[in-house]
A and B are shown apart, each in its own frame.
Chain A
Amino acid sequence: MARSFKGKVAIIQFPGVNCEYETADAVRAVGIEADLFRWNEDPVLLEETLAVILPGGFSYQDRIRAGVVAAKDHIMDKLSRIAAQGRPVLGICNGAQVLVESGFIPGIHWESVDLALAPNVMADRDGYYCDWVFLRNEDSRCVWTGAFARKEVVPVPIAHAEGRFVTGDSGILEQMKKNGQIALRYCTDRGGIDGGFPVNPNGSVENIAGVCNPDGNVLAMMPHPERASWLRQVPEDLPGSWGRKRNQASGKFERMEEPGPGRTFFSSLLSIAGHVREKSGGQGKEAGR
């Protein structure tokens, strides 16, 4: 029987990604089916997919520049049409790099590369950096953050060497702000915006951690919500309410299996799942806008 992604979230497996299984688990944990889609399978299989996630890892071993080789893959033609139809697309870490190098993000001029995820700039160090950070949910139209409260602070881990959102075109940044495309910003555990390291762990312009397209259905985020989808994944010594909750759950197996802070990204999909299913069956917007 032919594989079908109808009503499922497709997790795209480019050669070199390494977060696809836990991302699928995080989606399934909210009650939505998820399956892996190998990059060279027939794109027709994605015709009725509910949503698409590009997971983290090192697609094509980060050769030339993180995300750029995957961005040129033929499967991206299909993802371009899916995104243009308004179906949800999420890029996590390396997936975010693919979306930026594809020009889906910021997507003001569709498929025009108007941003970069440049090497981290950090105080007294360079290269790869891995830690828990705090994100603030900004006022945006992003469907992937729809279940968070306004200005909610969310702890999520990061792990990257090239995660600094930057643009050479200041007009693009202004447009992104005007359109409400800055979905997530790095902040302190109390939600304050501080541009210095380690609150802003990679030197991103305006502390940007996640950017959505103008329609809000495509999100590129550097942090890994799938690594914060269960309470057991949260460090006990994390400042703030999630750390306290985790501390109180220590030794209590059932409580440890409760949702973590990152799960809300995936449960945001629940509230739009019915709407998306309905829309994907009808007339979508054309790609190439």
Chain B
Amino acid sequence: MKINVELRVRLKVADLVAQTAWMTLTEKLDFAGILQGIVRYSYWAMDADGTDGKSILDEIDRVVKLDGAFTNQNKHCYSLRGFMRPGAEMDSVRGDLILDRDFPVIAGKRGRSAGVFAWDLLIREKDGGREEGFSSRLNGRLSGVEVSAMKAGEVWRVICDSQDEKSAKRMVERMAVTRSRREGLLLNPHYQQYEFIGVTAVGGGKGSKA
């Protein structure tokens, strides 16, 4: 059977890159009071073929725990999730990162607008060169499971104060896509692409899968 697998890894020690993004967005790009928090994950999503969903997850879990290209348990926490089909998550999350509770709000001005929304933005390189490498690395270590259609990149969870989900999305886009010296930070669209992969209402409003 084939399932879709998503792996997210983040530092469990202080993430200085995320802190620098926070400071740059709030102090140099005028998003103070709007940006409430920011979290950065390494991200992999893939199709995985094996005997059954549970054994597929067990086997991928075994490999990603051991392989430093994915996690180093001294400094990382991770979440490994399986989906029978888009949106249909299996009831067997692996790892020590609880994504549904990972909304560290840094700023103190919560609730100025109607709600606080956390958008997950996936950033990948356009040529996708790294993805082939990760695929073959995993396939070389997995037993009885084969992965394909790998997506690898970085996910930024951008938490912002906004009237609604849609305007929060527009705000995140403005923070992320570098179009000029005064606009955008997280990606350069000349070699990177992005997609929104999820949203959660952290305070007020209702989130949904993008």
Measured CB to CB, the closest approach of chain A to B56, in angstroms, equals 29
The distance in angstroms between the C-alpha atoms of A69 and B184, with both chains bound, is 11
Would A166 and B20 be within 8 Å (CB), given that A68-B178, A68-B185, A103-B180 are in contact?
no
Count of B residues near A, CB < 8 Å?
A: 27
Say whether B24 contacts A111, CB under 8 Å: no
The distance in angstroms between the C-alpha atoms of A71 and B28, with both chains bound, is 10
Say whether B182 contacts A121, CB under 8 Å: no
The distance in angstroms between the C-alpha atoms of A220 and B14, with both chains bound, is 34
Which of A73, A76, A116 lies in contact with B190, CB distance below 8 A?
A116
Answer yes or no: A168 CB below 8 A from chain B CBs: yes
Fill in one digit per residue for B116-131: 1 if any A CB lies within 8 Å of its CB, else 0. Answer: 0000000001110110
Answer yes or no: A167 CB below 8 A from chain B CBs: yes
Closest to B191 in A: A118
Would A72 and B24 be within 8 Å (CB), given that A103-B181, A112-B179 are in contact?
yes
Would A76 and B17 be within 8 Å (CB), given that A69-B24, A115-B190, A119-B125 are in contact?
no
The contact size tier of chain A is 20 to 34
Say whether B185 contacts A76, CB under 8 Å: no
Chain B residues with CB below 8 A from A65, complex form: 187-188
The distance in angstroms between the C-alpha atoms of A72 and B29, with both chains bound, is 8
Answer yes or no: B1 CB below 8 A from chain A CBs: no
Would A168 and B181 be within 8 Å (CB), given that A121-B127, A121-B129, A126-B129 are in contact?
no
The distance in angstroms between the C-alpha atoms of A222 and B47, with both chains bound, is 39
Fill in one digit per residue for B30-69: 1 if any A CB lies within 8 Å of its CB, else 0. Answer: 0000000000000000000000000000000000000000
Would A64 and B190 be within 8 Å (CB), given that A74-B28, A76-B181 are in contact?
no
Query: Which of B126, B129, B180, B190 has its CB near the most chain A CB atoms (within 10 A)?
Result: B190
Closest to A80 in B: B181
Chain B residues with CB below 8 A from A69, complex form: 20, 24
The distance in angstroms between the C-alpha atoms of A65 and B28, with both chains bound, is 16
Measured CB to CB, the closest approach of chain B to A91, in angstroms, equals 14
Which of B16, B129, B188 lies in contact with A63, CB distance below 8 A?
B16
Q: Which residues of chain B (149-199) have a CB below 8 Å from chain A?
A: 178-182, 184-192
Answer yes or no: B21 CB below 8 A from chain A CBs: yes
Chain A residues with CB below 8 A from B17, complex form: 63-64
Measured CB to CB, the closest approach of chain B to A162, in angstroms, equals 9
Which of B20, B126, B133, B181 lies in contact with A113, CB distance below 8 A?
B181
Measured CB to CB, the closest approach of chain B to A61, in angstroms, equals 8
Answer yes or no: A148 CB below 8 A from chain B CBs: no
Fill in one digit per residue for A145-178: 1 if any B CB lies within 8 Å of its CB, else 0. Answer: 0000000000000000000101111000000000
Answer yes or no: A101 CB below 8 A from chain B CBs: yes
Closest to A111 in B: B181
Measured CB to CB, the closest approach of chain A to B19, in angstroms, equals 9
Say whether B129 contacts A101, CB under 8 Å: no
Say whether B21 contacts A64, CB under 8 Å: yes
Which residues of A approach B to under 8 Å, CB–CB?
A: 60-61, 63-65, 68-69, 71-74, 76, 80, 101-103, 111-116, 118-119, 121, 126, 164, 166-169
The 7 closest A-B pairs by CB, nearest first: A116-B190, A118-B191, A72-B28, A116-B188, A168-B190, A63-B20, A111-B181
